[in-house]
Amino acid sequence: MKISFAKPGVPESGTVVVMAGEGGKLCPAAETLDSRTEGALARAAKAARFKGARGSTVTLLAPAGTGLDRILLLGLGAPRDLNDLAWQDAGGHVCAALAVNGPSTVSVIVESPAGCKMAPAEAAAHFACGARLRGFRFDKYMTRQDDDGKPTLAALRILVEAPGEARTTFAPLDKVVDGVVLTRNLVSEPANVLYPESLAETARRLEDLGVKVKVLDEKDMRKLGMGALLGVAQGSAHPPRLVTMDWNGVSEGKSKKAKPGKGDGPVAFVGKGVTFDSGGISIKPAAGMEDMKWDMGGAAVVIGLMAALAGRKARVHAVGVIGLVENMPSGTAQRPGDVVTTMSGQTVEVINTDAEGRLVLADALRYCQDTFKPRAMIDLATLTGAIIIGLGEHTAGLFANNDKLAKALTQAGERVGEAVWRLPMGEDYDKQIKSDIADMKNVGGRSAGSITAAQFLKRFVGDLPWAHLDIAGVTWAKADKPTVPKGGTGFGVRLLDRLVADVYETK
């Protein structure tokens, strides 16, 4: 979707969006159009019992007294609640209302009602961000679409005071949305198109943004002793890959903010990239197995995040590491009861081959530490079904060995509307993964399944400030939200970009 900003003014033709606050109070541009239509807009709002509630709309078609095709009146709700997320939702609501069977170009007059603390230019930038987020659509494999279902909205012309300021504010947001869109596209791709080799090549494209990308193949990983990752991959016809992405945008200035972690190393992000998870020999039930194409959601978030940081030229040294495998049953597949030796030298008894993501991350986490000496490390994975039982499909599970890092992640999530909830860890949970024949086993039973998975990962981290985000419940949406259409969500890209901006980025 093309976004442009221009000086305010009421258009003479086409489709225009105007706004109303709490109680249905019309903003100035809406009042102007109401006058031109001899009160038709206010009468339509009254007939629809429109009270200006957040996200509510009223449409007036071919309004008399104007040359317009349509007026869309958008409710903003209480002015005191109009923060950046509310304005993003407003953009999403407009995009959803006009995306199909509407005009190709829409003019939106952004005005901050009395009581709104956000300047119109900043509001307009976040409105545009929300519209772009909601405008995502994955339809590349659809060869036939009914006209009623085809998207028509191609451009938003946002009319606002100080359009130059709006354009400047929107520019970095736009790059972050690019990262979200990239992640959504990746998790939407089928596994016959996206597998370890092809996903690694997708990551290579970040070199165009100035990211240094390195791809390790099976031979490289065998030399490094990555027995856990290779054990997961051995049942597939597709060989594994491990990809590193290095963005160094640090200037000479230094941030004065307190940062979780010590030293001058980069902040690191590690992602699970199981491009399809059949469960291996411990095979999953057939129902819903098609969803396992997005078991590489953690890796997709890391790729999208690195694209966002590089795209907006973030003043930070950040690295991304992703372990890419396909978990399949075959004559060469890993068996329950096998023992593997990880890159760290620790041994793991594989009780369940469907608990494979933690094995991939074990070696990826160790490689990240040995190679980059990071100051802090955050991993993301669609790791456990247990987290969905515990937190549902709206909140990610957060586990950490560092209170400052956990707090920073929670606050970043609140700022961008991607909620995380910290769960406990401890010695009692750690005992559940004790093995009789190896250093540990890869599952700890049905109870506290997400926690014991985190305890497993913690054994490969040491004293480094570390956090684990279990995003199994939030990677795919089953219903539309204002800025998140049904399908791949891209959850985590905006959260971690906000973390970097708030905590690690040089100012």
Active site residues: 284, 358
Give the residues across from 18 on adjacent strands: 73
Rounded Cα distance between 202 and 200, Å, is: 5
Q: What are phi and psi of 337, to 5 degrees?
A: 105, -15
Rounded Cα distance between 179 and 306, Å, is: 8
Q: In the block, which residue shows the tokens 């009319």?
A: 159
For residues 488 and 138, the answer to whether their CB atoms sit within 8 Å is yes
Give the residues across from 151 on adjacent strands: 100
For residues 107 and 17, the answer to whether their CB atoms sit within 8 Å is yes
Strand order in the sheet with 241-248: 212-216, 241-248, 317-327, 267-277, 376-381, 466-470, 396-400, 420-422
Rounded Cα distance between 293 and 307, Å, is: 22
Nearest to 173 by CA among 184, 162, 181, 183: 181
For residues 94 and 72, the answer to whether their CB atoms sit within 8 Å is yes
- The radius of gyration of the chain's CA atoms, rounded to the nearest angstrom, is 25
Q: In the block, which residue shows the tokens 């986490």?
A: 365
Structure tokens at 177: 């949305």
Rounded Cα distance between 39 and 47, Å, is: 12
Structure tokens at 454: 């985190």
Rounded Cα distance between 127 and 120, Å, is: 10
Residue 102, classified by CB atoms within 10 Å of its CB into exposed (0-12), middle (13-18) or buried (19+), is: middle
Structure tokens at 446: 């049905």
- The total of other beta-carbon atoms located within 10 Å of residue 115's CB is 12
For residues 297 and 388, the answer to whether their CB atoms sit within 8 Å is no
For residues 460 and 362, the answer to whether their CB atoms sit within 8 Å is yes
From residue 380, alpha-carbon distances to 271, 358, 475, 486 in Å are 5, 11, 11, 21
Structure tokens at 241: 């890959």
Residue 20, classified by CB atoms within 10 Å of its CB into exposed (0-12), middle (13-18) or buried (19+), is: buried
Structure tokens at 204: 């290579």
Element containing residue 103 per DSSP (H, E)? none
Rounded Cα distance between 227 and 253, Å, is: 41
For residues 176 and 276, the answer to whether their CB atoms sit within 8 Å is no
